[in-house]
């Protein structure tokens, strides 16, 4: 072969003796005798012999296939031998080490007059190679990676991971450049790098001397399991598990550990120190599936303790609640299969089978009504909310760019009190929901809370309902004279998460005052939710009242405590006594039973508030929530619902007084023209009212607006009906 030049490489025939095996090749890093060799020592004969033996393996079995091929067919240039120059006419092999070692072995045989089959001895003088320019930019690593990471002759995953990490740490390549150059996925790249960093940390631990190359797959499983990552408090910025206690526990599960006998246990050898031996406890994690099983009861400390005491995953799993969850899911799957089978034989059904089928349907209905859908609702106590409290300007403009039936729907001329009217199903409630979501920015709790209110579930939400009803929201607004953007979407993640029982994900993005916030919730069909957000911000204090919504326990407690703190609770009781029920003496909140007890002149003992009319309860809870909304907003849907018309004027007056006292921007929807007109019984705050009529024609929505004085004039002169 004549020398052929290319700007990136040179093809050349070289002597076999000028080729040196690379002792730092990535295929060797997990060999028990591997040590890194400096570049100046590569040609050392002792180093070369050791490296050669790495490749040959026991009884030279690692090159047996090439030996047979070379003897039968001679040297076929199927795969290129790729090298870099060490010095003049001396080369380090970066690709084709096995082929070079096999040729060297045949050269030794030839020199000893041993049979080399059909291999032409001229090959030893003219080995065809491709010479790449030696550089410090990672080019050689990419050449190897193309064959052994993304190519057909893959290395073990530990070797692959080390090469990927070296391109980052040694050559300062950007991640995107690496996985694009090698043609691998971003997911695979990140997964291997995270696992390698965890392995390197493990090697520094007390258990590090017990690392074996086969364990790397387990570390990949660990770092691929989202629940395990969260438990370790894994930081993707510095590639570190920040929960030291959990990390140490995890490491102890991966290896055999020594348990030193304490003095009180040495009964068999009567405290004889010479006879005392450490007890070896078996490792807990033995196969890939074990990590997945552990992750299922990772939040159950009792089960973890059982696992560590017994060194047995199955016993721990059996003691956890996860057994019941899995059995329930398996039962449902069995029912599904049986129904499918029964349908295929339905032609054989008889009249007498109808009774059994009806009974089964009723059983399924009962099962459905008892299923706990609460896994989608986040525990509000788990979130740390950061409040941004504004005392002056609040919402001045809102745009429902894409929200349910609304497209590019602008609400302008927003005032302190804003009333939305319109016919049924015109979208009044949806507008209030959008405003409430804007006020909560990236708070997942509030997002799910609104879905509960909309679905009218009993404080729980079925994940199938959300998947069917929600797809994408896009909102914007002007708040405190600053631009606010909000978006939410449902999607299926391509992140490397535990896909067992996975259903879909929700992502919320918000941007306000140059700060971008993001939250993601991964939803599972077994009532699990994994949430990810660096921090939660609220735009301002806010609350939402809906007549059909079952009052949330945490909401009630918070509203009660706030109203007591801001000294409005006594005002609420006084209003109820004066205008609603003169027999009320006092209302006391009983925390341990989560009840409000009413002391009434007509009853000998205190009665639960729920024994009184819905109107009393509605006024009471709306009034309580005013304290929660101080220096913020409050949304009240169908405000007149359950309230007697004789109370309209006084209740509105009380509501407006509280909103002015606490600087609350009110957003109210109503079907009742009488209730709306009650806002205009006095002139005092008329300039702080905006009234809107929502029009809907052929599925298109439009909006009409009037300021308080303008509306009052039109109402008196034209008997205007804002309901359409």
User: Which residue's structure tokens are 């380090």?
Assistant: 92
Q: What pLDDT sits at residue 144? A: 67
How many domains does the structure of the chain reveal?
Answer: 4
**Higher local confidence (pLDDT), 332 or 114:** 114
DSSP 275-311: T--PEEEPPS--SHHHHHHHHHTTT-HHHHHHHHHHT
Q: What pLDDT sits at residue 502? A: 84
User: Which residue's structure tokens are 């099983």?
Assistant: 293
Pairing of strands 417-422, 689-697: parallel
Q: Is 519 helix (H, G, I), strand (E, B) or coil?
A: strand
Rounded CA Rg of the chain: 37
Q: What pLDDT sits at residue 25? A: 80
Measured in residues, the chain has a length of: 724
Pair (125, 214) in one structural domain: no
Q: What is the CATH number of the domain that holds 632?
A: 3.40.50.300
**Higher local confidence (pLDDT), 200 or 190:** 200
Confidence band (pLDDT; 50, 70, 90) for 7? low
Pair (307, 206) in one structural domain: yes
Q: What pLDDT sits at residue 418? A: 96
Pair (274, 364) in one structural domain: no
Q: What pLDDT sits at residue 145? A: 63
Q: What pLDDT sits at residue 186? A: 79
- Write out pLDDT tens, residues 617-638: 999 999 999 999 999 999 999 9
**Higher local confidence (pLDDT), 461 or 265:** 461
Q: Which of 134, 169, 204 is the last residue of a domain?
A: 134
Confidence band (pLDDT; 50, 70, 90) for 460? low
Q: What is the DSSP code (8-state) at residue 236?
A: T
Q: Is the pTM of this model over 0.75?
A: no
How is residue 506 written in tokens? Answer: 């929700």
Q: What pLDDT sits at residue 137? A: 66
Q: Tell how far CA 313 is from the center of its chain.
A: 26
Pair (190, 269) in one structural domain: yes
Q: What pLDDT sits at residue 390? A: 54
Q: What pLDDT sits at residue 429? A: 92
Q: What pLDDT sits at residue 381? A: 43
Domain contains 701: yes
Pair (565, 640) in one structural domain: yes
Pair (582, 668) in one structural domain: yes
Give the end-to-end CA distance of the chain in Å, rounded to a whole number.
90
Pair (108, 207) in one structural domain: no
Q: Is the pLDDT of residue 568 over 90?
A: yes
- Write out pLDDT tens, residues 295-353: 888 878 888 888 888 888 888 877 676 666 667 777 888 888 888 888 888 888 888 88
How is residue 515 written in tokens? Answer: 């700060």
Q: Is the pLDDT of residue 450 over 70?
A: yes
Confidence band (pLDDT; 50, 70, 90) for 354? confident
Q: What pLDDT sits at residue 312? A: 87
Q: What pLDDT sits at residue 322? A: 65
In contact, 396 and 415? CB cutoff 8 Å: no
In terms of residue numbers, what domain contains 364? 324-370
Write the CB contacts of 615 (distance below 8 Å, at least 6 apart in sequence).
580, 642, 643, 644, 647
Q: State the chain's mean pLDDT as an integer.
A: 82
Q: Is the pLDDT of residue 149 over 70?
A: no
Pair (564, 705) in one structural domain: yes
Backbone dihedral angles phi then psi of residue 409, each to the nearest 5 degrees: -100, 110
Domain contains 469: no
Confidence band (pLDDT; 50, 70, 90) for 507? very high
Residue 236, judged by CB atoms within 10 A of its CB (0-12, 13-18, 19+), counts as exposed
Domain contains 298: yes
Domain contains 67: yes
Pair (709, 566) in one structural domain: yes
Confidence band (pLDDT; 50, 70, 90) for 708? confident
Q: What pLDDT sits at residue 373? A: 39
Q: Is the pLDDT of residue 34 over 50?
A: yes
Helix (H) or strand (E) holding 675: helix 673-678
Q: Which of 87-91, 490-494, 633-637, 711-715 has the lowest mean pLDDT?
A: 711-715
Domain contains 391: no
Q: Is the pLDDT of residue 264 over 70?
A: no
**Residue 237: left if φ>0, alpha if ψ -120 to 50, beta else—which one?**
alpha
**Higher local confidence (pLDDT), 651 or 496:** 651
- Write out pLDDT tens, residues 44-86: 989 889 888 888 888 888 888 888 889 888 888 777 888 888 8
Pair (316, 328) in one structural domain: no
Distance CA 362, CA 223 (A): 45
Q: What pLDDT sits at residue 489? A: 95
Sheet (strand 529-532) strand order:
406-411, 395-403, 472-479, 482-491, 502-512, 515-524, 529-532
Domain contains 83: yes
Q: Which of 93, 119, 134 is the last residue of a domain?
A: 134
- Write out pLDDT tens, residues 689-703: 999 999 988 778 899
Distance CA 223, CA 215 (A): 13
Backbone dihedral angles phi then psi of residue 608, each to the nearest 5 degrees: -65, 140
- Write out pLDDT tens, residues 368-422: 644 543 344 444 444 445 545 555 568 999 999 999 999 999 999 999 999 999 8
Pair (296, 347) in one structural domain: no
User: Which residue's structure tokens are 């790729």?
Assistant: 82
| Residues 154, 157, 158: CA angle, nearest 5 degrees | 125
Percent of the chain exceeding pLDDT 70 equals 82
Domain contains 638: yes
Pair (560, 678) in one structural domain: yes
Domain contains 519: no
Distance CA 609, CA 595 (A): 8
């Amino acid at each position: 072969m004549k020398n052929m030049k290319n700007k990136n490489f040179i093809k050349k025939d070289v002597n076999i003796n000028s080729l040196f095996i690379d002792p730092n090749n990535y295929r060797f890093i997990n060999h028990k005798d591997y040590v890194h060799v400096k570049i100046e020592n590569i040609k050392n004969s002792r180093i070369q012999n050791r490296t050669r033996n790495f490749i040959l393996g026991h009884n030279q079995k690692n090159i047996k296939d090439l030996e047979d091929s070379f003897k039968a067919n001679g040297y076929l240039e199927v795969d290129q031998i790729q090298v870099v120059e060490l010095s003049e006419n001396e080369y380090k092999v970066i690709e084709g080490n096995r082929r070079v070692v096999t040729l060297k072995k045949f050269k030794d045989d030839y020199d000893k007059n041993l049979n080399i089959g059909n291999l032409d001895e001229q090959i030893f003088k003219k080995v065809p190679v491709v010479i790449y320019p030696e550089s410090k930019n990672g080019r050689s690593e990419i050449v190897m990676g193309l064959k052994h990471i993304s190519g057909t002759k893959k290395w073990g995953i530990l070797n692959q991971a080390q090469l990927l990490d070296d391109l980052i740490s040694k050559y300062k390549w950007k991640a995107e450049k690496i996985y694009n150059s090698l043609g691998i996925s971003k997911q695979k790249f990140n997964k291997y790098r995270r696992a390698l960093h965890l392995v390197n940390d493990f090697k520094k631990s007390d258990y590090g001397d017990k690392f074996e190359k086969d364990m790397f797959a387990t570390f990949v499983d660990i770092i691929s399991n989202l629940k395990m990552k969260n438990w370790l408090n894994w930081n993707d910025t510095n590639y570190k598990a920040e929960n030291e206690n959990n990390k140490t526990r995890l490491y102890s599960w991966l290896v055999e550990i020594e348990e030193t006998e304490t003095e009180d246990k040495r009964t068999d050898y009567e405290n004889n120190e010479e006879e005392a031996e450490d007890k070896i406890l078996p490792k807990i994690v033995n196969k890939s599936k074990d990590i997945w099983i552990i992750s299922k009861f990772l939040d159950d400390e009792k089960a973890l303790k059982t696992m560590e005491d017994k060194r047995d995953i199955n016993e721990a799993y059996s003691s956890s609640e996860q057994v019941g969850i899995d059995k329930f899911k398996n039962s449902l799957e069995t029912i599904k299969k049986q129904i499918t089978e029964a349908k295929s034989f339905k032609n054989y059904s008889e009249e007498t089978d109808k009774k059994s089928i009806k009974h089964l349907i009723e059983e399924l209905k009962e099962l459905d009504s008892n299923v706990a859908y609460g896994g989608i609702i986040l525990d509000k106590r788990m979130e740390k909310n950061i409040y941004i409290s504004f005392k002056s300007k609040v919402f001045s403009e809102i745009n429902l760019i894409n929200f349910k039936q609304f497209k590019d729907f602008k609400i302008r001329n927003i005032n302190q009190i804003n009333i939305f009217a319109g016919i049924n199903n015109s979208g009044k409630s949806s507008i209030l929901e959008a405003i409430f979501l804007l006020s909560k920015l990236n708070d997942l709790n509030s997002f799910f809370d609104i879905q509960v209110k909309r679905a009218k579930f009993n404080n729980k939400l079925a994940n199938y309902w959300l998947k069917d009803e929600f797809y994408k929201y896009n909102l914007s607004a002007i708040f405190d004279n600053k631009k606010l953007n909000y978006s939410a979407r449902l999607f299926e993640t391509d992140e490397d998460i535990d896909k067992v029982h996975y259903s879909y994900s929700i992502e919320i993005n918000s941007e306000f005052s140059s700060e971008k916030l993001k939250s993601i919730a991964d939803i599972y069909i077994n009532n699990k939710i994994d949430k990810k957000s660096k921090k939660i911000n609220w735009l301002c204090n806010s609350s939402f009242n809906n007549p059909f919504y079952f009052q949330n326990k945490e909401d009630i407690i918070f509203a009660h405590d706030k109203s007591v703190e801001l000294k409005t609770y006594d005002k609420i009781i006084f209003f109820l006594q004066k205008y609603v029920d003169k027999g009320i003496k006092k209302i006391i909140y009983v925390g341990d039973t989560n009840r409000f007890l009413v002391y009434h002149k007509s009853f000998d003992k205190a009665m639960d508030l729920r024994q009184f009319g819905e109107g009393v309860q509605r006024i009471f809870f709306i009034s309580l929530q005013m304290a929660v909304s101080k220096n913020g907003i409050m949304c009240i849907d169908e405000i007149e619902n359950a309230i007697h018309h004789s109370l309209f004027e006084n209740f509105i007056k009380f509501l407006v007084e509280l909103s002015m006292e606490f600087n609350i921007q009110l957003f109210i929807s109503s079907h009742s023209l009488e209730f709306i007109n009650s806002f205009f019984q006095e002139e005092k705050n008329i300039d702080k009212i905006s009234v809107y009529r929502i029009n809907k024609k052929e599925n298109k929505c439009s909006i009409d607006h009037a300021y308080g004085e303008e509306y009052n004039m039109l109402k008196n002169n034209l008997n205007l009906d804002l309901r359409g």
